[in-house]
Structure 1
Amino acid sequence: MADGRTGVAYIRVSKVGGRGDDLISPEVQRHTIDMLAEREGIRIVAEIQDIDKSGRYFAKRRVKEVIQGVKEGRWSYVILWKWSRWGRNLKESQIHLAAVEEVGGIVRAATEDVDPKTTIGRFTRDQLLSIAQLQSDMISDSWKEAQDKRRRDGLPTDGKPRWGYVYEGKRYRVDESLRETLKAAYEAYVSGASLRGMALEWNAAGLRTTTGILWNGGRLGHMLDTGFAAGWIRERSDTAAAGKYKIADFDVWRRGAHEAIISLELFERYRERRAAQARMAPRSRTASHALSGLMFCGYPDCGSAMVSSTSGRRRVLNWTCNRAAVSKAHEPNNVSDLRAMGFILGWVERHVQRGESVTEEARRLEAGRQATNDVEALDADISRLMRKRARLADSWTDELIDREDYVRQRAEIADALAAAEAGKRLAEKRVAASGITYVRQFGDLLDEWDRFTPHDKREALAAVFKRVVVHPGPFGPDKLELVPLWQADRERWCAVVVD
């Protein structure tokens, strides 16, 4: 049990953003706390620190430990440097002060000491906490204004380094020594390469992250996910999503003022494959076989994933419906890996040879090219309108136009932006539907096939095919259905059996 004159020193230091001073360092706070404790005859028995923690929130701080210590009788007093160290959110600060007092504790501030047992003391304390919140709100308002200015200028809301770019003169310019490396990373990924494999290659080449550490698959994926190389700047509209870094967590994408290294089309292909990988079972992401995670049963009302198995003395690899094998839901359905691979590679080879010689294929590819051109044109329109909006805002700020003209022009720009963005979304869907980007990969896939590992082969096939459906019955022209990523599920692509 505490003797009634024991206390804990609570110290909090916010993130100072490189301020470089020690005005509120832990040492300064502790020195002032010790002076009050000595003057009042309070013995400090513990110190609890919250370093780099905001005063606006209590969730991730150690205040609960402070309260628990009072409850368990380890100390009776909680001593702070100033009331702002307790919190910069009046409501939350009062709630947690009440929690301390409910278990018999007393909170005091060394440089702003008041008697919380009196009405005037509590009033003064609350006023000091209100001032702490006011200071925080004013800083927040200034930061928001600075962020809005950076948005108008087509910049990220922070000045952090972006891989592949150099930040100078308040602008990001492409680092020419890394341009091709970054572009090749996106192209390799959509062609089936793994992030882990690319990270190992980058490390071997001496490439490091913006913080100077080694790459791994996760770090490389997070960097590519930003879309900065495609000209995007991403944000979250939901502050609750802070700390989450999946592509889906970012719902605000705006065009930046920096030069794009890759096309929007390539980035969309990258996003599609990232989404497909996220839906895939972890075990399927590192494949033991080229067709792992791609084979599905075509029995009516089944659609289950097929699993690999071996048979005979030669351990022949087969694919069989797991549901049929386990629950006997239908007759066995299987196909040998050798026949399936021959079928698939034959299909790919024929598409390489066909190229655009078939009228329907030519029309489809031409439609894709036109849609791609539309996307680029609309993207240029969007960038132009955003620059126009920024200039309008500057004109209003500088009092060069009156409010009526500002409101009218802003509404006109907003309407034009909405129309351009809607048109671009439709054009992007037309690009995806055409399959133009996938056809380019067929030749590369065949050229590199013999050098691929099983995992690389699966990655390359997954960049072209959504799945391979194995239908019931003996092997023949209709046994396998290849579903490319750009086709609807119901559409069937069958090829002649390869002997």
Structure 2
Amino acid sequence: MPSKKFVVDLYIRVSTDRQAREGDSLEEQENELKKFCDYRNYQIHNTYIERGRSGGNTNRPEYQKLIKDIKSRKVNAVVVKKLDRLSRSLLDFEHLVGLLQEHDVEFISLRENFDTTAAMGKAMLRVALVFAQLEREQTSERVKDVFAFRAEQGLFNGGTCPYGYDTVSKELIPNKQEKKIVECMFELFLKTKATSIVEQELNAMGFRNRKGQLWDRRHIHMILKRPIYKGIIQWNGGTHKGVHQPLVSEDKFDRVQEIFEERNFNSSRDRIKGLLKGLVICGKCGETLSPNYTKKKNGTIYRYYRCNSTINRRKKLTKCSVYVASEALETLTLDTILTYSTESKLAQIRRDIELKNQVIEKKSVVLSADIEARQLSLKTVKQKRDQYLDSLVTGGFSKDERDKITARIDEFSLEEKQTQAQLYKLEFEKTETSEKLLTIDSFKQAIVTFKFNHLKLSESELKQWLKDNILKIVYQENTVDIAFRLLEDSS
């Protein structure tokens, strides 16, 4: 019983100004694709030819016909000469691959050796999709940059429009009725110092929120705490002077915040913060040291760091009993960081960095040599495969001879795909290795900045500096060993 034919669609595209250059003419593409299908014994269902159309988008008549064939499962595979003939956008290509996989249709590109009928081809396709993911992330970064720029200019970045404002052409404009309610809200809170009373007063006066519902103290609390009402734009943890009209004066807003601080509106869960929370490791057992406190009968609060293994000894089966006063551990850590600003310590760090860089550079040289060798092997294999393929098409051979030549071509094709996959892996590894090279400058700048500014930093700012620059702090017997991110992340 004859085997079922493998049916394919051919897709050919060229821009008008490229038809006579680089061997990418419509005729040349069609001839090469048909030669390949003849060699593979594929049945051609349709040949879609796109003349003078850009590959930057999918708004192409013949491309849309190809998509219909895929969705109706009329073909087993789509064959192109080069990936950019089908699409110049990795994101569009990723969408197409998803469509192909959904409808069990394979994809073959001669130039890039993408052939998802084989396992190696599927692997190489996944590599290409990694770059699609990279393009998505870069697009996301560009969008973030635009939003950050708008915030720096004092512009509102969208989202739910704050109560008291309307948005006109992406700008905040005061809503007359809602503005009066916001002003009343601030005034009432300054008099009563309680959101629950403000809630009662607003509802008693017949005021309603934007949805026409009764006011809720949580919504009131959120409005009273939001700096946008004094003319400030918040974005990504930073604040910028807005171009919109404030609804309350800066003085009035700040007086409201002082009341919140006095009344201690902060959650009890935030009381045990700890400057070194999440950074300190017990040198005795390897567990984390967490901040805790004990309140004495006379009201005195004793703050300390406690090894987590002491919390549930039955479960952890350990005799560790490390407790250290918060102030002592935090002072010891800050003093130790300051020692890294001395010339002797910086010289030691410089030597460590040089040793690390020597190892990295040696590895990079080895990888470069491997890449050159693989590139040469790839070129040789391609030449041999093309020679056999040309002889098969043009020569007159018996069936046995054709079978032997075909088998040899398949061997070369497999070797080519394996070499290409190895080459991709080596290039990724070399890029990753090169990015690990260190300089003393960034470390020195961080330490010097800390030395001259640590006494001026607020607790939250100091905590953020520690989080950004320190990977872990190992405490043992009144000493700390600090692992800086810059030095450890490159290992």
* Short-chain TM bin: 0.3 to 0.5
Greater RCO (Cα-Cα under 8 Å, separation 6 or more): 1
Q: Which has the larger radius of gyration?
A: 2
TM-score w.r.t. length of structure 2: 0.35
